[in-house]
Amino acid sequence: MTTRQSPSHPAPLDAGTRAARAAGNAGEPTVEFAEATPYEQYVGVRQLQALVRPVTEHPAEPAFLVVTQVMELWFTLLRREWELGQRQLRADDLDAAIGSIRRSVHHLRSLDATWGSLLWLTPAEFNGFRDQLGEASGFQSYEYRHVEFLLGLKAESVVRPHRGLPVVHADLQRALAAPSLEDDVLAYLARRGLPVPATVLERDRTVTHEPDPAVTALWAEVYTDPRPGNELFTLGEALTDVAEVFTTWRQRHVTAVRRAMGAKPGSGGSAGLAWLKRSAARVVFPDLWAARTVV
Ligand code: HEM
């Protein structure tokens, strides 16, 4: 039975039909389509292109805009991977959760590499379109806030800018009060009988995670057996990779800002560089780092 596909989804193709088509094409790609190619139906290239709307004619602006949009897509993908990892941890499927977290490390590295496309941006070039961006600032990226919240970097103040967009605001408020990835890891460890204090399991989830001596000691104990067969060690290292590469992204942002605009105030209303440096210094998964001093 064939199901009618919506215009935005390509029709499915089973292996037998695919083989028959390749044979019929004498091994060459199919070139006849009655409507938009299945690739276009799947990827939506025209929709993507329609979103690249520079506000000036300055030749440097399209790269700035596209890099920002690409980074937004990486944030969305990270969010999906970590929310999936949380569901897998809640189902006590540690192998699957480690798989999701490891996959996210590859995405993070690609996100980080995206800075390479902006490093040529000089202050004069940035000045060429900066004023036209008005008060627009990455500070207002709500997808980035979801990423931070999942990593345990929480603050009510960063939810506030989104009050004017109720759906986004409600989603962010929910995420602020929801468990972070680390909260789900610790709940999983507690279910496995590890000594996670009740105060940590029940901590206020709307504020940034602080290191806890008992959790630091717990990770230090896990790290006394650093063999691949120790799945909790593997989990700890995957989370440490996440923290490290995310931190690298934030540090590269600080460097990109210093390079493109020095210490001028930010378009989002902050002091700029000095404010960003403080923000980037917040530690992700502090107990995993503190454990290294104890081991
Ligand atoms: C060279 C280009 C860039 C410059 C000069 C720049 C500048 C700044 C400044 C000054 C801030 C502080 C807030 C404010 O505006 O007052 C900021 C925050 C931020 N920017 Fe950028 N930015 C650049 C590129 C990007 C890109 C490509 C992204 C990707 C989405 C991005 C995402 C962010 C985020 C998420 C914050 C908030 C950081 C935090 O809360 O710690 N920025 N940016």
Atom 4, ligand 1: residue with shortest CA distance: 257
Buried b (16+ CB within 10 A) or exposed e, 65-84: bbbeeebeebbebbbebbbb
Atom of ligand 1 nearest to the CA of 267: 15
pLDDT per residue over 78-118, tens digit each?
Answer: 999 999 999 999 999 999 999 999 999 999 999 999 999 99
Atom of ligand 1 nearest to the CA of 275: 12
Between the CA of 261 and the centroid of ligand 1 the distance, in Å, is 11
pLDDT of residue 7: 52
pLDDT per residue over 12-34, tens digit each?
Answer: 999 999 999 999 999 999 999 99
pLDDT per residue over 159-207, tens digit each?
Answer: 999 999 999 999 999 999 999 999 999 999 999 999 999 999 999 999 9
pLDDT per residue over 34-86, tens digit each?
Answer: 999 999 999 999 999 999 999 999 999 999 999 999 999 999 999 999 999 99
The finding on whether 279 has its CB within 6 A of some atom of ligand 1 is yes
Atom 34, ligand 1: residue with shortest CA distance: 138
Between the CA of 87 and the centroid of ligand 1 the distance, in Å, is 31
Quote the percentage of the chain above a pLDDT of 70.
Answer: 98
User: Does residue 261 have a pLDDT over 90?
Assistant: yes
Between the CA of 140 and the centroid of ligand 1 the distance, in Å, is 9
Mean pLDDT value across the chain? 96
**pLDDT band at residue 228 under the 50/70/90 scheme:** confident
Determine what percent of the chain falls in helix, strand and coil, rounding each to the nearest 5.
65, 0, 35
pLDDT of residue 19: 93
Residue of 75, 76, 110, 139 to mutate, ligand 1, most atoms within 8 A of C-beta:
139
Catalogue the long-range contacts made by 41-44 (C-beta closer than 8 Å, 24 or more residues apart).
41/7, 41/8, 41/9, 41/10, 42/9, 42/10, 44/8
